[in-house]
Amino acid sequence: MHARGAAELMWGTYELVVAPASIGNIQQLMTPQAFDAVLLCLGEGVSDPASLVAHLLDKAPYAPIVAIASEADDDLALQAVCLGAQDYLLWNEVTARSLTRAIRTSIERSWAKQQIAESRLSIVWRLAKAAECRDEVTGNHVVRVGCYSKILAETMGMDRQFVEAIFVTAPLHDIGKIGIPDAILRKPGSLTEEERAVMQMHCEIGERILRDDSKAMGAFRAWRGLTVHGDRHEPVDHLLEMACTVSLTHHERWDGRGYPRGLAGEQIPLVGRIVAMSDVFDALLSERPYKRAYSEDEALTILEKEVGRHFDPEVYAALLHSLDDMRQVREEFNDSHCDEHDVPFVLAPARN
């Protein structure tokens, strides 16, 4: 049984569009139309489902995909599931009822995944805005840092999962400022050495907030039936892992003179190097109670002097190639366009 056989089984249940499984057809079909689900029929000249599944999920990250294969090709179907398909069936077991049930279940699973992802994204943005309420009048700073980081990651050729993750986690870079005393965070004059040391703790505070392994969380996870692996609780959330790294490393410097760990060069995770550039670039272009906004040319001159000292040369090169996209982000999320309910209510300046 081939794709046309599946179409016959589904007659009167779903409207089907039948096409050979190829990347070209995916590009042609997925752009103008919206699909409830995708049936990926393997074994008909499809020897490598990996590229097809990857391309489908790139076009539609939550697409419900059901793979169908013969017994001889069941390893291809299993491979497709491992890569992101929701389910698979064998041709000799396929009936109209089983195929309908598999499609319906896949759609429900995909919808649930999308709802969870959107909820997590909403929580992340609220956490980021909560941190800004203790900072200076930063308007849409965290939004722009997330967008800039996404653009830089794309320009540097990172995969979709990395790009999406850094877009979500970059806004949490200063979450640790929640734990810095107001007397230091909002001191109008220069900080003493002791105060500066406390201020620099915001990186590690943020990492601890996001990585929380407290006894209370341990008890909750145990109650929920989650397993414990060593002193860590599974499953590990890759977004929270990246958020921890962003918080901990965004003040490291390429020359090793940053904080808190004094990492140098490629010892600094790429997410930290990208967010460091995005954060400083936006800060230079933004007006603050204690400084004027620099022009783009002035900002680039300052950044260029710090290439190889503060910043990764490759990340700076990516920024230069992305300036048009950066300008578009700045225009769309200009501080003057910030919703009045989103503007932090504390107006005193804070520290980096």
Boundary-marking domain end, from 110, 143, 165:
110
347 within a domain of the structure (yes/no): no
* Residue 119: inside a domain: no
Q: Please say if 177 is a catalytic residue.
A: yes
Check whether residue 95 and residue 243 sit in a common domain: no
The rounded distance, in Å, linking the Cα atoms of 233 and 226 is 7
Do 58 and 155 belong to one domain?
no
Place of tokens 């291809």: 76
Give yes or no: residues 80 and 224 share one domain.
Answer: no
DSSP assignment, residue 251?
T
- Residue 121: the pLDDT is 80
pTM: 0.72
> Are residues 23 and 144 both part of a single domain?
no
Whole-angstrom Cα distance, residue 36 to residue 78?
22
Give whole-number Cα distances, 22 to 27, 46, 53, 55, in Å: 9, 8, 10, 10
Q: What angle is formed at CA 251 by the lines to CA 280 and CA 173, rounded to 5 degrees?
A: 75
Residues 139 and 182 occupy one common structural domain: yes
Shared domain check, 214 and 147 = yes
Q: Which residues of the chain have pLDDT under 70?
A: 1-34, 43-49, 71-74, 76-77, 83, 134-139, 212-218, 220-221, 224-236, 289-290, 337-352
Burial 149-164 (b: 16+ CB within 10 A, else e): bbbbbbbbebeeebbb
Q: Which residues lie closer than 8 Å to 40 by C-beta, 6 or more apart? A: 21, 46, 49, 52, 53, 56, 65, 66, 67, 68, 80, 85
For 194, the domain range is 133-337
Looking at the fold, whether 214 and 290 belong to one and the same domain comes out as yes
| pLDDT tens sequence across 236-253 | 578 889 999 999 999 999
Q: How many domains does the chain have?
A: 2
Main-chain phi, psi angles of 101, to 5 degrees: -65, -40
Scan for tokens 């400022």, then name that residue. Answer: 177
The answer to whether residues 103 and 216 belong to one domain is: no
Contacts for 77 with CB less than 8 Å, ≥ 6 apart: 42, 49, 67, 68, 69, 85, 88, 89, 90
Q: Which of 177, 187, 215, 291 is catalytic?
A: 177
Decide if 346 is inside a domain.
no
Q: Is 27 found in the same domain as 176? A: no
Q: Which CATH number characterizes residue 309's domain? A: 1.10.3210.10
Quote the radius of gyration of the chain (alpha carbons, Å). 24
- Can you tell me the distance from the alpha carbon of 99 to that of 4, in angstroms, rounded to the nearest whole number? 14
Whether 60 and 141 share a structural domain: no
